[in-house]
Structures are given as C-alpha cells and as structure tokens.
Structure 1
Amino acid sequence: MLRNLFLTIVAIASLLATPVASEKIEVDLELALLVDVSRSMTERELEIQRQGYAAALMSDEVFAAVQSGPLQRVALTYVEWAGTQDVIVDWMLLETRADLNEFAGVLTTRFDPALRRTSISEALIFGARMIEENKFEGLRKVIDVSGDGPNNQGRPVLQAREAVLSKSITINGLPLMTREGMGSQWHLDDLDFYYQNCVTGGPGSFVIPVLDWQGFKEAVRRKLVLEIGSAPAIGEAMKAQYIAPSDYDCLIGEKIWERNQQIWSEP
C-alpha cells in the first residue's frame, strides 16, 4: 500500500518536472515563403528574388506590419523549391528590426542556383508540413508560393491545394509573368489565372502578378505587408476565388511538359 502510494507520488512528480513538449510560441502569423528556383529561372532571376525579399524585409512598411498585430511577432521561413525543396532560412521569430535584418542577411549570403522541374504541389505539401511541425502557433497560417510556370511534376496541384486548405492554411500566390528564362515553350500567358484558380485559396487569399522584374521588389514588399498586417487585398492583388476544375485546366503544366517531351524525342 505504502509502496504503491510512493510510486504514484514519484510518477506525478516526474510528470510535473517534464516540460510539456506540445507547448508552442504564440505568434500573429506563421508564414512560409516558397520561392521558385526551377530550370526555367535564370541565375539573374534567382538573385533578383533573393534581393527583393531581403529589401522588403528591411523596409519600414514590413516592420510596421509586424508591429500591427496583437502579439507583434511573426514566424517566418524561406524555402526554395523546384522538383524538391531546400530550406534556406528555417523558422525564425521576428519581432524587431534586428530580427528582420538578420533574416534578410541570410538571404543575401547563401546562394545556390538549381536546374530542376516545377512541382508546386509538392512545395505546398512541404510548406504545410513545416507549419505543422514547427514550434510556433499562429493566429493565422499562410503559405506564399511564387513561380514562373504551372505545376509539371508530383501530385496534381488541386489535390495538394485541397490537402493544405483542409489544415486551415491559406495559400497566396506571386506568379512571375516574365520571359527571361528558358523560352516560350514553358510560358503560360494566363499564369495569374492559373494561380488564382488552381493554386491559391483560403480566407483572405490573393494573387499579385509580377509582369516584369523591375516591379518585383515592390510586389514582394506589398505582398508581405498584406500578409503580415492582414490588410484587405487591393489594386494589383487579385482575390483568389475557387473555380471548379472544369472551368480551368489545372493540368496544363503537365500537358505542356508532355508536349515538349514529344517534340524533343522526335527525330
């Protein structure tokens, strides 16, 4: 009897002394930035993206957006993706200008260009997993995906999108509608509508098209302010509305890839 009581007391004391593993740091926003580095991107374009995000993070507007939330802190990660994913900056807690500058500094010191296919779908699944497994608990959870072409590898993008949205994660898009990369065989004239209809979704989701690289820095700054400050999307931002797959071919990227493969295999 006394022995059982003693063992019970020891067990309770052990539980009380053990930190609760499930405790997470509360933040206004968990934001995963997923940035395209597939073979259709030139090294110059990859560098423009890094510099654009770094400049935006160090801007007064983005810092003000961080300060505008009830907790005045956000969790951010930066991932480059193509057929696979590479975490360039793992989750960081951003509260001060120094935090934002540190994050931006990493972006401008590590640079590894890649030549791979385009899997938006697997990038979305990867981003959702990173949000689920990190040490933060956000009042809002957002994946921001940028890219210059449609999905052409991995599971269908609609399947991935629905899986992410089912976890109460919003998806925003930054379609890069430029023509500097590998040529017209990969170009999709209505990439903004592809992102709007096939990629993005969730409460307050939006798409901001980038028509030329001169406007990239401003587009990124504005996008981050909208996401971090949770302001309503206006101007160039297109409200992302779900449209039935029958109204837009969300497998267009896979079909373009197959068409080009056939062309290249012809004698």
Structure 2
Amino acid sequence: MRALALLALLTGPAFAQDTDLELVLLADASGSITQRELMFQRQSYARAMTDPDVLAAIANTAYGHIAVTYVEWATTQGVIVPWMQIDGPDSAAAFAAALDGPPRGATGRNAIGSALLFARDLIEQNRIDGWRRVIDFSGDTTGNTYGPPIEVARDEVLESNITINALAIVTDRPWEDASLAQQYEARIIGGPGAFVVEAAQGGVFAEAVKRKLILEISGLPTRRIVADLGD
C-alpha cells in the first residue's frame, strides 16, 4: 500500500521533492533485441533494484531515496515505468513488479540521439528536484538510423547538467564491432564521473546491471570504462 502511495505521489501533478538522484534507465528495444532479450533486460533491472547491495547504496545516499523511471528506446521511445521514488524494499519491489507485464515500449531501428533527448526531457520536465541527474543508456550498437546525430544529442544533454553513463551489450553477431565500449566512451557518455560498463547477455549482464546501479547511486568515482566484472 505504501509503495502504491509513493507511485501516485510521484506521478501526480503536484510532485516536487528533493532527492539524491534522478535516474532514467534507457534500455534498448530496437529490432536487434529479441522479445526474450527484452524481458531478460527488464528482469535484470528488477532483480538489481531489489538487491540488498543496491538498497544499501540507496539508504546511504544523502536523502535515503532516489527517483527512477524505466524507458525503452528504438525509433520511438516508451515509458515502461513512470517516475517512482525508491526508498527501501517495498518501493523497490513495486518498481520491479511494474516492469513485468507492459508490452514492448518502443519499435523500429536505432535512434540513439532521439532517445537521449527524450530521456533529457523526462528529467527536465518532471517536478523532481534531484541533487544529481543521470541517464543510464544501454544498447548493442552505435547505429543511428533516425533522428539527430548522437554527438549533437549528447552535447545537448550535457548542457542541461545531466550525466550520461552507458552499458555496452556485447553480442556475438559478426557485424557488430568488438570495441563497442570504446565507441560508447567516445560518442555517448559524458558529464562528471561518466563511465561505460561492458557485458554480454546472460548472467554477466545481470551482474553488470547491479554493479552499474551501485556506482550510479553511490556517486563513487570510477574509471571511464569498466570492461568486465573481474576488472
């Protein structure tokens, strides 16, 4: 009941509250992502958000809570879970439950620039006063078939004092460049403490999501590229 009340508060027209972090989870739903992979991504974020280590990182922030929204991107973009305040196990469980059920939120090919600007607008147009503002972008390519160029969109986001981090999803598709993390470093991420985490689908991906969330929530300095979980 408390978690539902929090959801209503955060999505209502009068929400205005200080919090430690405004975080847009911007997940790849383009044509290269199968339905199974799409749901695995959601499940990985659900597990990570409810993990005791992630909850401990949230509890140790200055305010003891963060604001999070989950968005899927392709040619279009779709909000899967609207802004929610996460301040403990109940609200984290509500966020996780909200990821399970909605249909695919975006369709088409790649429009990374448009996705970054969409995420920026979600932060700029909400009524949350966050101490830190972060876009957490994930994808398996740097393709940008539609919309503004990636670097142009990135620079516009950075001008709004929003940091962009990234999760580079490594695939075994022969046409994908093995240096995706380096491309994300050069073309997508930016802002104070920005970093890239690299992982393949599977168990490593789930652990990478958890690790990335802890780094973002805690605000701890890290190297610009975190290549693997053993690094």
TM bucket by the smaller chain? 0.7 to 0.9
Does residue 162 of the first structure (1) align with residue 155 of the second (2)? yes
- The alpha carbon displacement at 1:73 in A equals 1.0
Distance 1:133 1:113, change over 3 A: closer
> Based on CA coordinates, which of the two structures has the bigger radius of gyration?
1
Residue number in structure 2 paired with 1:222: 211
Residue 145 of structure 2 corresponds to residue 173 of structure 1: no
1:188 aligns with 2:180: no
Aligned-pair identity in percent equals 41
2:123 corresponds, among 117, 121, 131, to 131
CA distance in 2, matches of 1:37, 1:142: 20
**TM-score, normalisation: structure 2:** 0.87
Q: Assess if the C-alpha contact under 8 Å between 1:150 and 1:188 holds in 2.
A: no
Q: How does 1:1-267 map to 2 (within 5 A)?
A: 24-112=16-104, 115-152=107-144, 153-179=146-172, 183-185=173-175, 187-233=176-222, 237=226
Q: Give distance in 1, aligned partners of 2:72 and 2:22.
A: 17
Q: Displacement of 1:135 after TM fit?
A: 1.6
Q: Secondary structure at the match of 2:93?
A: helix
Q: CA deviation at 1:213?
A: 2.4
The size of the alignment, in residue pairs, is: 214
Deviation, 1:190, is 1.2
Q: CA deviation at 1:115?
A: 4.6
The structural deviation recorded for 1:233 is: 2.0
> Gapped runs of 5+ residues in structure 2?
1-12
How far did 1:94 drift? 1.2
| Greater fraction of residues in strand | 2
- Alpha-carbon separation, structure 2, partners of 1:184 and 1:113: 27
Cα offset, 1:91, TM superposition: 0.5
Shift of 1:114: 5.5
Contact 2:166 2:184 in 1 (8 A): yes
CA contact (8 A) 1:178 1:213 kept: no
> What amino acid maps onto 2:213 in structure 1?
L
**Quick one: distance in 1 between partners of 2:201 and 2:111?**
23
- 1:93 is aligned with what amino acid? Q
Tell me the secondary structure at the aligned position of residue 175 of structure 1: strand
